[in-house]
């Protein structure tokens, strides 16, 4: 559970929004990370009355950074091929909602952690940006961003925190549910989770 929370807190640092291909992968990550930090530091948006506005602003940026369809495809792996077009569309929507709701609330606890970009490796249409977060307790959390070139932009399709992949982590969980129960059961659980989150936010 601790790892999942850390994963969700750190996950937003892989932000790659609508950047032109002229940007290197590292520049793309850096620029959009700054956009999120600006939102988190905005004094007006910090007010309790503006909580929903702040979250909407972050989710807007988040919706621009991840290639959620690619992440969904890699997360379902072999099960993706068995899905109909409508099932794929539904899953992408649910998975997007799951990620956004989960870590948008987690990253609100951001407290001026330092972000250091260490290395950038480009191999054709793929890239890897290595970085680390230095917490206020001086703990270092290594994070690798996996990017791909799509529509003349560098977009992120996975993040690896302390050697553990976000995509692989969800793939393991989802595959276990599908094999033990069914794909339909996985979708049902994701929908229930979504309803619980919406209910909690509106209380």
- Three-class SS of residue 129? strand
pTM above the 0.95 mark? Answer: no
The rounded mean pLDDT for the chain is: 82
In tens, the pLDDT along 106-165 reads 666 666 778 888 899 999 999 999 988 888 888 888 888 899 999 888 898 998 888 889
Rounded to 5 degrees, what are φ and ψ at 155? Answer: -125, 150
Q: How many whole angstroms separate alpha carbon 142 and alpha carbon 48?
A: 32
Confidence of residue 34 (pLDDT cuts 50, 70, 90): confident
Residue with tokens 């925190």: 161
DSSP β-bridge partners for residue 145: 129, 159
Looking at residue 148, its pLDDT comes to 95
Looking at residue 31, its pLDDT comes to 79
Tell me if 52 sits within 8 A of 202, measured CB to CB. no
CA-to-CA dists, residue 134 to 40, 114, 161, angstroms: 18, 5, 13
Q: How many whole angstroms separate alpha carbon 137 and alpha carbon 13?
A: 18
Looking at residue 40, its pLDDT comes to 83
Looking at residue 19, its pLDDT comes to 41
Looking at residue 74, its pLDDT comes to 96
Confidence of residue 184 (pLDDT cuts 50, 70, 90): very high
In tens, the pLDDT along 60-105 reads 877 777 799 999 999 999 999 999 999 999 999 999 888 877 666 6
Domain topology for 2-201: Nuclear Transport Factor 2; Chain: A, (3.10.450)
Tell me if 96 sits within 8 A of 190, measured CB to CB. no
| Sequence spans of domains, the chain | 2-201
Q: How many whole angstroms separate alpha carbon 65 and alpha carbon 39?
A: 15
């Amino acid at each position: 559970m601790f790892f999942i929370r850390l994963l969700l807190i750190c996950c937003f640092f892989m932000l790659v929004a609508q950047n032109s291909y002229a940007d290197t992968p590292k520049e793309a990550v850096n620029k959009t990370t700054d956009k999120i930090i600006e939102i988190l530091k905005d004094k007006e948006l910090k007010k309790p009355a503006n909580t929903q506005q702040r979250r909407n602003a972050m989710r807007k940026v988040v919706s621009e950074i991840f290639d959620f369809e690619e992440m969904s495809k890699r997360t379902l792996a072999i099960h993706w091929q068995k899905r109909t077009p409508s099932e794929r569309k539904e899953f992408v929507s649910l998975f997007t909602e799951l990620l956004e709701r989960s870590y948008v609330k987690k990253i609100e606890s951001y407290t001026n952690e330092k972000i250091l970009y260490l290395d950038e490796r480009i191999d054709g249409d793929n890239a890897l940006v290595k970085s680390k977060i230095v917490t206020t307790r001086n703990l270092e959390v290594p994070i690798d961003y996996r990017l791909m070139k799509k529509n003349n932009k560098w977009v992120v399709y996975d993040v690896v925190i302390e050697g553990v992949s976000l995509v692989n982590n969800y793939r393991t969980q989802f595959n276990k549910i599908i094999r033990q129960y069914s794909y339909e059961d996985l979708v049902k659980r994701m929908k229930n989770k979504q309803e619980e989150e919406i209910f909690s936010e509106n209380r």
